[in-house]
Each structure stands twice: as structure tokens, then as C-alpha cells.
Amino acid sequence: MGVYAYCVVPHAHRPPGDLVGLNGSPVELVEVGDVGLWVSTTDRPEVSIETVQAHNRVVEVAVTEHVTPVPLRFGQWLEDPGQLPAHVSEHAADYRDRLSRFAGCLEFGLRLIDPEATDEARDVRESVPATGREYMQALRESSRLAEQRRAYSETVASRVRELLRDIVREEKVETAQTRHAVLTVSHLVAREHFDEYRERARRLRSVFPALRLLLSGPWPPYSFAV
Amino acid sequence: MSDEHVGFPFADHELHLVELVNRVLDRGAVITGEITISVAGVDLVYLGVQLVIAATETARGRAGMIRMPQ
Amino acid sequence: MSDDRIDADDPELFAAELAEIAPALPSRIDATPEDVESGLAKLVLTLIEFLRQILEHQAVRRMEGGTLSDEEIEKLGLTLMRLQERLNELKEDFGLEGEDLNIDLGPLGKLI
């Protein structure tokens, strides 16, 4: 047995008594200084869709109108519960800061992809050159195309920023690229702006008719907890 | 290891699942590097990786100074 | 929170797109402590791949700088090409795919 942690919450923010976490274990509040942690006493969890969902379910129960927890990544398990306070105190100032920034906010995700885009940079890179010079030229061409793509993404990113600036508290642009990805970004948005945010995000469809939009949320602010 | 990839069930409603799993496994705060080692693979060597972070940061900073093979 | 959290123009297109990043998830889900050795190979190969990319980037910059002779460009290209080939062979030996070669540095993001 060890202790598994779900999220960081403000001092005295208690889980409901009947809340069930990973492996059917009850969820308890552990207070460390002026922050709290929602934890379960349980064995090291297996990673599966079910346990990931169970983790998130607990984090979402911690969300109230005024409290938004700092969600922890899946897998924060300690064999020795006695070590928990030291680990938490080490980051306490950071947690307090995030709790106050997150209060009343949740995150949304935006993905813009270009269905027509081909990852030319990758194709050029993976071509089979015969000579050293050809290889170097393929490298140069690949980096030129990658640069072009970055520049386009940046243009789209600034247009999105312009459109949403006044209702977005924080943004996090993801660099992981899929073949058609133009922009992948998460936004921290206050509750009172949720509807307005959705409405404006959907407007991106007419701003960029060639792109396809995926809007998701609200989520606990996982992307802003790191 | 890559042979063992179980197919991810993709359908309309599964987009929700992908977005969720992506967040819960890849983002979210980490209490300490040591305990992300709960999942094998690259995560197992997270601690070791922390040791080389300094080295790679330096490598990035010095990228401009690396000598090419002559 | 509402259950209706996804609004996608073309769910199938996005499903196909996200399938590209999804392999990273099942491989982690399936992983067991017995994979330590493979994890170590992954770490080492990732670092080599990282350095290889830096070298290639530098090589392109040198070439664009116009200070390299034709002979030097040919030699440099061949060296880098062989390096890439050898690394691909090694990846295959360890059953690793392109996307497997990365390291999550936690708060610092992905290495490559």
C-alpha cells in the first residue's frame, strides 16, 4: 500500500465522504501547511483508460464555482506516505500561486488542422538521396519547408490570440506536430466567459475556412499545471 | 514494445477520450520526478533524464559551437 | 461540468489525425517494469537522435553560409546520411519507431 495523489486544493477543501477514487478506495484530504492534497491509500495503480478516467473524475469533483484544483498528472504514487509532506512543501508557493490563478477558471482546447496540408518537410527528409550533396540539399529544403510551416502557424496563432485575447487568462501552445496540425493550443478561461469563448472560437471557422476546428472543454487545467 | 500497441478505439465520441487521456497522462503537475516512474518505458528513466537535462540544455545553448566532422 | 465537451468539424478527420499521437499512449499503458532495458535503449537512442538533429541543423547553416567547398559538402552529406542510416538500423533492432524516440522532460516539455 502507498498513497496516490490526484490534485492540489486550497486548505480545508474537503472531498465528499462518499467519493471513490482509484481501485475503489476512498478519497481523503491531506493538509500540508496551507495547501491540501486529495489522496487515496491504495496500491500502485495500473495505467488503463479506466484508471485514467477515475483519476480525472476525482479531479473534477474537486472543481467548484470558486475552487479549481491544480490537477496532478496520472501516476503520482508514493510508497511511503510519510514522504508526501516534504514533496508538497517544496512546491507549496507554486501551488498557492496556481490555485489563485486558476480560481473560477477551467481550460479549453483548440486544434486547427489543414486537411489539405502535406508534411513536405517530412517527405523531403525521408526521400532517398544518392549523393552527399543531394542529402544536404534535401536537408536544406526540409528545413526551409518546416520554417514556412512554422511561420504560417505563427500567423494563425496571432489571429486566434487577437480574437480571444480579452477573454483568455492564459494560453499554452503545444509544439507536438501531427501531419496536418496548424495550431494546437489550450486556453485558461474564466467561467463567466465560457459561452463567449465557445461562440468566438467557433467564429474561427469563418476566419479560416480552409482549416478544420476541434474545440474541447471545459477541462480541469491540466495544461497549465506544469 | 511497439508491436504491443493495442488499437486505440477511434470513433466520434472517442475524440473526447483522446483529449482526456492526452491531458491526464502528458500534462498535469508532477509532485516529484521519482514517482512518475510508475509507468514503464521512457518514464522509467525519468530520474536519469533529470541528470542529463543540464547537459542537453548546455548542448542546446552551445549548438552553435559544435564542430562539424571535417 | 457538461458532458458535451467536443465540438469537431469533421470527427473522422480529427480521429485520423490524433491517431498519430495516440500510439504514445497505448505503449505507455501496456508498459511493464520488464521494459526497463528497452527504456534504456530508447533513452540512449533518443540522445543520439537529438545530437544528430543538431549536427544536421548546423551542417545546413554552414552550407548556407557559403564557406564550404563542393567536396566538403559532399563529404558532410555522406557522413550525415550514413549516420541517419545507422541510427535507423539501430532503431529497428530495438523495435522502436520514429515517434518512440523522444523524452518527456516533464515541465520542460519534450526533448525533440
Q: Is A214 within 8 Å of C57 when comparing Cβ atoms?
A: no
Question: What CA–CA distance (Å, rounded) separates A170 from A60?
Answer: 20
C24 at A interface, C-beta within 8 A: no
C-alpha C95, offset from chain centre: 14
Give yes or no for residue B35 having a pLDDT over 60: no
What's the burial of B44, exposed, middle or buried (CB within 10 Å: 0-12/13-18/19+)?
buried
Chain pair A-B, CB pairs under 8 angstroms: 82
- Chain A nearest-CA distance from C41, in A, is 22
Q: Is B15 within 8 Å of C32 when comparing Cβ atoms?
A: no
Interface pTM (ipTM) of the complex?
Answer: 0.85
Residues C24 and B15 sit within 8 Å (Cβ to Cβ): no
B54 at C interface, C-beta within 8 A: no
pLDDT at C22: 58
| Vertex A147 angle, CA A143 and A148, to 5° | 120
Question: What CA–CA distance (Å, rounded) separates A106 from A71?
Answer: 11
User: Which of B5, B27, B32, B68 to mutate to test binding with chain A, by most A CBs within 10 Å of its CB?
Assistant: B27
pLDDT at C98: 65
Q: What average pLDDT score do residues C68-78 get? A: 91
Residues A135 and C77 sit within 8 Å (Cβ to Cβ): yes
DSSP chain B: -GGGPPPP--STTHHHHHHHHHHHHHSSB-S-GGGGGGS-GGGGGHHHHHHHHHHHHHHHHTGGGPPPP-
Q: H/E/C letters for each residue in C84-95?
A: HHHHHHHHHHCC
C86 at A interface, C-beta within 8 A: no
DSSP E strands: which ranges in chain C? 6-8
B68 at C interface, C-beta within 8 A: yes
CB-based contacts of A39, cutoff 8 Å, min separation 6: A3, A4, A5, A6, A27, A28, A29, A30, A84
Q: Is C6 within 8 Å of A63 when comparing Cβ atoms?
A: no
What's the burial of C108, exposed, middle or buried (CB within 10 Å: 0-12/13-18/19+)?
middle
Give yes or no for residue B54 having a pLDDT over 70: no
* pLDDT tens column, B3-25: 333 344 445 567 888 888 888 88
Q: Which is more confident, B28 or B51?
A: B28
A5 at B interface, C-beta within 8 A: yes
Question: What CA–CA distance (Å, rounded) separates A195 from C2?
Answer: 12
Question: What CA–CA distance (Å, rounded) separates A69 from A7?
Answer: 6
Residues B29 and A70 sit within 8 Å (Cβ to Cβ): yes
- CB-nearest partner of B19 from C6, C42, C100: C6
Eight-state DSSP code of residue A45: P
Residue C42: list chain B partners with CB under 8 A. Answer: 41-42, 45
Percentage of chain C surpassing pLDDT 90?
A: 9
- CB-nearest partner of A76 from B21, B30, B43: B30
Residue B29: list chain A partners with CB under 8 A. Answer: 8, 70-73, 91, 95, 98, 225-226
User: Which of A222, A223, A224 to mutate to test binding with chain B, by most B CBs within 10 Å of its CB?
Assistant: A222
* pLDDT tens column, B36-50: 433 333 443 333 333
- Chain C nearest-CA distance from B31, in A, is 11
Q: Which is more confident, C17 or A163?
A: A163
Question: What CA–CA distance (Å, rounded) separates C100 from C42?
Answer: 7
What's the burial of B7, exposed, middle or buried (CB within 10 Å: 0-12/13-18/19+)?
exposed
CB-based contacts of B26, cutoff 8 Å, min separation 6: A73, C104
Q: Out of A88-97, C42-51, C93-102, which region has the weakest mean confidence (pLDDT)?
A: C93-102
C40 at A interface, C-beta within 8 A: no
Number of neighbours of residue C33 by Cβ within 10 angstroms = 10
Query: Which of the given ranges, B27-31, B48-52, C96-100, has the highest pLDDT on average?
Result: B27-31
Query: What stretches in chain A show pLDDT beneath 50?
Result: none
- CB-nearest partner of A47 from B29, B32, B39: B39
- Give me the helix-helix angle, A132-164 and A194-207, nearest 10°: 130
pLDDT at A71: 98
Q: Please, which chains are in contact with B (at least 3 CB pairs closer than 8 A)?
A: A, C
Q: Please, which chains are in contact with C (at least 3 CB pairs closer than 8 A)?
A: A, B
Q: Phi/psi of residue A104, each to 5°?
A: 75, 5
Torsion angle in degrees (nearest 10) through CA of A154, A156, A160, A163? 120
Residues B24 and A72 sit within 8 Å (Cβ to Cβ): no
pLDDT at B53: 39
pLDDT at B50: 38
Q: What average pLDDT score do residues B39-65 get? A: 38
- The x, y and z cell numbers of residue A14, run together, are 474537503
pLDDT at C23: 45
- CB-nearest partner of B1 from C14, C35, C57: C35
Give yes or no for residue C50 having a pLDDT over 90: no
Chain pair A-C, CB pairs under 8 angstroms: 96
pLDDT at A182: 93
